[in-house]
Amino acid sequence: MTSVAGARSGKPRYLQIADDIEEQIKGGRLAPAEEVPSETVLMERYGVSSGTVRKAIAELRAAGLVETFQGKGSFVKSRPPVTRKSSDRFRRSHRRAGKAAYIAETEQAGVKPTVQVLSIGPVAAPREIAERLGTADGDKVLARRRLYFSDGVPTEEATSYLPWSVARDIPELFEENPGGGGIYARLEEHGHEFAEYVETVRARLATKQEASALGLSPGSAIIHLTRNAVTTSGKVVEVCDTIMAADQFVLDYRIPALD
Amino acid sequence: MTSVAGARSGKPRYLQIADDIEEQIKGGRLAPAEEVPSETVLMERYGVSSGTVRKAIAELRAAGLVETFQGKGSFVKSRPPVTRKSSDRFRRSHRRAGKAAYIAETEQAGVKPTVQVLSIGPVAAPREIAERLGTADGDKVLARRRLYFSDGVPTEEATSYLPWSVARDIPELFEENPGGGGIYARLEEHGHEFAEYVETVRARLATKQEASALGLSPGSAIIHLTRNAVTTSGKVVEVCDTIMAADQFVLDYRIPALD
DNA sequence: TAGTGGTCTAGACCACCGT
DNA sequence: CGGTGGTCTAGACCACTAC
């Protein structure tokens, strides 16, 4: 019956509560990784019902300030270090030094990189991938799916697609560890000399699957990067499709001035 | 008392409802700009209470499929055309043809571009901008803030910063319309020959201000792009800071293979 | 004034986590 | 087991829109 609620001061109660907790976080009174008071406690403290508290927490989650775990509670997010993806990470000199692109760039950021291979094997090429590879929709391609971690935190899920005609001759591409310098080094050893890489960047909200794969709260932003590796003969020998947690990456690109 | 609910088939009811409506949209049974049935109707149709219907609609809103207006209803979003930002948009030939970068790229996408100048004038350089320009924090710089529209829909808010020492000699930079080819054409006319542009891409959720400036629902993803314009003498003569609606842009970059 | 979405209540049961 | 968050109900009142 109450009703009461609503716009005592213009602003919805759940936003007032969210703002209050946000200030406590930003003011340091709630430290990173610390547990936010439970819903029961907050209901009593603010004199509201469960639904209102839950909307407030949902607001904080959407803002990326807390994450919640069923049965455990809500916790202040610790802001993880940013990994900078700079556009010189594909230099041959890195590969000659035995470093794949991911290792080269994250080491630079002072983060310990690890990789987990999720699957390697033939698949039917999805439409967009086939278009980029210049093959037909559904053609057999080699897919290498892997998950990258920075200091143990999953940050990036990447799938490389290679035309079967290219991949079948290079046995290392079917190994979990393709050897020093990564798959690009192996491709160059087999006569595929790279001329350029073309990257396409999109950003959007994470789907449920992506969020859980990267350990994100639903509603987080992700960067979707697709890269074509183009050889001097103009052939696309690899397409890499990557989903990254947006808050952990900054992408740098240099564009030469042209006429 | 009921309770009932919960996991009849593993999946929460509100997600089932959201999925059902999503299929109706993707299957074309709910056309773009069409009104989604009202909450009252949906409550009856699915036999659930208001809260459940509201969560389902919230899910669709988060996925960017519908937008809702208080007192009017929820409507299927018409998917606006994607503007592709390709990395050759700074070619001099575009400028010689009298086209600024934004015009060149959106025309290509078949969209009618318009620009609204929000402000032009001296400001104290924010820290990150000063760093990029190579001046001191708080130095006087010329700021040009403008809002870009595609087919009348706000899509991008950009602020250009130029060192005062560069800007003061070029009167056109203080005009709303800097003339054919945009400010880059004027800078080149005054002896600043560009060597390269360095772009930094970030993605995150929109703040409240950004969301309202771009007409987005809060919680939408945005792309934050910052560009340095570097001359052949190595000087940064402009820094452009841009906030874009993530669902309206795809960024393309070409990275030459280097040793 | 009738209909819409926006907020809120005071409960309920479920699923998960720790002890 | 008790505590946590996750889902849901069946209402209520408020604010806005359209007629």
- Specify the pLDDT at position B67: 86
Question: Integer distance in angstroms from CA B187 to C1' D10?
Answer: 67
DSSP state of B187: H
Question: Integer distance in angstroms from CA A235 to C1' C7?
Answer: 58
Tokens of residue B84, six digits? 């592709």
* Greatest pairwise CA separation for chain B in angstroms: 78
Ramachandran region, residue B173 (left: φ > 0; alpha: ψ -120 to 50; beta: rest): alpha
- Specify the pLDDT at position B203: 93
A199 and B88 in contact by Cβ < 8 A? no
pLDDT tens digits, residue range B145-203? Answer: 999 988 777 889 999 999 999 999 999 999 999 998 999 999 999 999 999 999 999 99
User: How many pairs of residues across A and B have Cβ atoms under 8 Å apart?
Assistant: 129
- Match 């143990």 to its residue by tokens: A152
| Number of other residues whose CB lies within 10 A of the CB of residue B82 | 14
pLDDT tens digits, residue range B202-211? Answer: 998 887 678 7
pLDDT tens digits, residue range A159-202? Answer: 999 999 999 999 999 999 999 899 999 999 999 999 999 999 99
Residue of A nearest to B244 (CA): A203
Question: Integer distance in angstroms from CA A1 to C1' C11?
Answer: 13
Nearest residue, CB atoms, B258 vs list A91, A204, A253: A91
**What residues approach strand C to within 7 A at the CB?**
A 2, 4-6, 12-14, 47-52, 55, 69-72; B 1, 3, 6-7, 36, 38-41, 50-51, 54, 57, 68-74
pLDDT tens digits, residue range B247-256? Answer: 889 999 999 9
User: Please, what's the b/e burial string for B206-231 (b: 16 or more CB within 10 A of its CB; e: otherwise)?
Assistant: beeebbebbebeebbbbbbbbbbbbb
Residue A135, pLDDT > 80, answer yes
Chain B contacts of A247, Cβ < 8 Å?
204
Local structure of A39: helix, strand or coil: helix
pLDDT tens digits, residue range A201-234? Answer: 999 888 767 877 887 766 678 999 999 999 999 9
Residue B2, pLDDT > 60, answer no
Please return the burial class of A253, using the count of CB atoms within 10 Å of its CB with bins 0-12, 13-18 and 19+.
buried
Chain B contacts of A63, Cβ < 8 Å?
205
Helix or strand run (H / E) with residue B165: helix B164-167
Q: Which of B88, B135, B62 is nearest to B251 (CA)?
A: B88
B253 and A199 in contact by Cβ < 8 A? yes
Instruction: Provide the H-helix boundaries in chain A.
Output: 13-26, 39-46, 50-62, 92-96, 101-108, 127-133, 164-167, 182-189, 208-213
Domains of chain B: 13-76 (1.10.10.10), 83-251 (3.40.1410.10)
CB B32, CB B78: distance < 8 Å: yes
* pLDDT winner (highest mean) among A89-103, B59-73, B234-248: B234-248
Binned at pLDDT 50, 70 and 90, residue A79 comes out as low
B90 and A204 in contact by Cβ < 8 A? no
